[in-house]
Amino acid sequence: MTKIKTQSLHKRDSDLAQSNRQLEILSNGIFQNGELPTFKDKISETNQFPLKAKKLEILQINVGYMCNQVCEHCHVDAGPDRKEIMTRETMQQCLEVIKNTGAHTLDLTGGAPEMNPDFRWFVEEAAKAGIKDFIVRSNLTIIRANKKYYDLPEFFKKHNVHVVSSMPHWTRGKTDKQRGDGVFDASIKALQELNAVGYGMPDSDLRLDLVYNPSGAFLPGDQMSMEKDFKKALMDDFGIQFHNLFAITNLPISRFLDFLIASENYEDYMYQLVEAYNPAAVANVMCTNTLSISWDGYLYDCDFNQMLELPVNSKVKHISEYNEDLLEGRNIVISQHCYGCTAGAGSSCQGVVA
């Protein structure tokens, strides 16, 4: 049984539940007094401002902020107490877009997307559109949370869903510290069940990838080396196999920002991000080929901008008025959190970019 660690910032009425407060922090202090360059100034050095949206490749839909976990560093501030859930009506609007988009990847995320009561209906309908890569971001423990979810591995298999799951470490201690007591054991069991139906096997078309994000105020190590270590440890200890590991940098927003400030790591972390800035990563940041749709149908350049309530800079603001041609070429909305996607080898929902 997994044990929930805490409540969302929203539930706690924390200052940082407000996106404008987060944006204020990210613009003040070391960025205001010139100690560190703003992201805009930094990308201007290499004439990469303004960042422009290219042809859409990835449509990422956040079907709700409700989750069975309350992970320490969640950028969504998700949890059982979050009630923002995508309605079937909005899903229907999304389906219209999914049928007509030129994007090759559909990426469902949350919260725990499986907790949306219309999740299965939506997956069944969306799968019919025949998009090349259909991702569901599953936190793994949901598969073991309640018997109504036990058949999810079979359900995913039936619709050829590409499962992408978070796994902060191959040890119990580090995983549970970040994600809650019991999360490691439940995740291991879920991975074994996914393996049992064919997910993650070396020659299997049933894709199972893991997402690693650091458990504290430090950047992820080399993705390839981490993947090697994860594969060895999970195989040796539990006989688990998976395809790829995506190393993702924690962006300084929401609960991770709260953690950085409370642990007095904020300035050091921002220094790390700025020092690791890689102009080559800027060319491939995910916001340039991704569109993020919120539970209530609004459009954002990425899931992080969604959480900061920074909508797309376009006449088209909502899924109901979707127009891919109008959205292409829009200026991407940026702030200092964007340094998280350009540090080192870069970071995106699909791992490194440079």
Partner 1 sequence: MQKTYYDPADLRKFGKITEWSEELGNKFFEYYGKVFEEGALTAREKSLIALAVAHTEQCPYCIDAYTKDGLQRGVTKEEMMEAIHVGAAIKSGATLVHGVQMMNKVNKLDG
- With beta carbons less than 8 A apart as the criterion, state whether 246 and 137 touch: no
Please give the C-alpha separations between residue 164 and each of 185, 251, 343, in angstroms, as whole numbers: 18, 19, 22
- In the complex, least distance from residue 347 CB atom to partner 1, rounded to whole angstroms: 13
User: Which segment (84-92, 113-121, 179-187, 211-219) binds partner 1 by CB under 8 A?
Assistant: 211-219
Torsion of CA 178, 180, 181, 186, to 10 degrees: -100
The least distance separating partner 1 from the CB of residue 252, rounded to whole angstroms, comes to 16
DSSP character for 51? P
Sheet holding 299-300, edge to edge: 245-247, 208-212, 162-166, 133-138, 105-109, 58-62, 290-293, 299-300
When the beta carbons of 14 and 272 are compared against partner 1, the nearer one is: 272
Q: How far is the CB of 236 from partner 1 (least distance, A)?
A: 15
- The residues, any chain, with a CB within 8 Å of residue 352's CB and separated by 6 or more, are 223, 246, 247, 344, 345, 346
CB of 144 vs partner 1, minimal distance in Å: 24
Nearest-angstrom CA–CA distance, 106 and 59: 5
Sign of CA dihedral 7, 8, 10, 15: positive
Q: Taking CB under 8 A as the rule, which mask of x and - marks residues 243-272 in contact with partner 1?
A: ----------------------------x-
Under the binding rule (CB under 8 A), the answer on residue 200 touching partner 1 is: no
Q: Least distance in Å: CB of 264 to partner 1?
A: 11
Judged by CB under 8 A, the stretch of 189-197, 217-225, 288-296, 332-340 that binds partner 1 is 217-225
Stretch that binds partner 1, among 20-28, 151-159, 210-218, 300-308 (CB under 8 A): 210-218
Among 10, 144, 169, 330, binds partner 1 (CB under 8 A): 169
Count of residues that bind partner 1 according to CB under 8 A = 20
Cα distances (angstroms) measured from residue 46 to each of 26, 51, 284, 312, 329: 22, 11, 14, 23, 19
Nearer to partner 1, 64 or 168 (CB): 168
Q: Pick one of 41, 89, 236, 275: the residue that binds partner 1 (CB under 8 A).
A: 275
Q: Does 88 bind partner 1 (CB under 8 A)?
A: no
Residue 27 touches partner 1, criterion: CB under 8 A: no
How far, CA to CA in Å, does 106 sit from each of 36, 38, 120?
Answer: 36, 32, 15
Binding site for partner 1 (CB under 8 A): 169-171, 173-174, 212, 214-216, 218-222, 225-226, 229-230, 271, 275
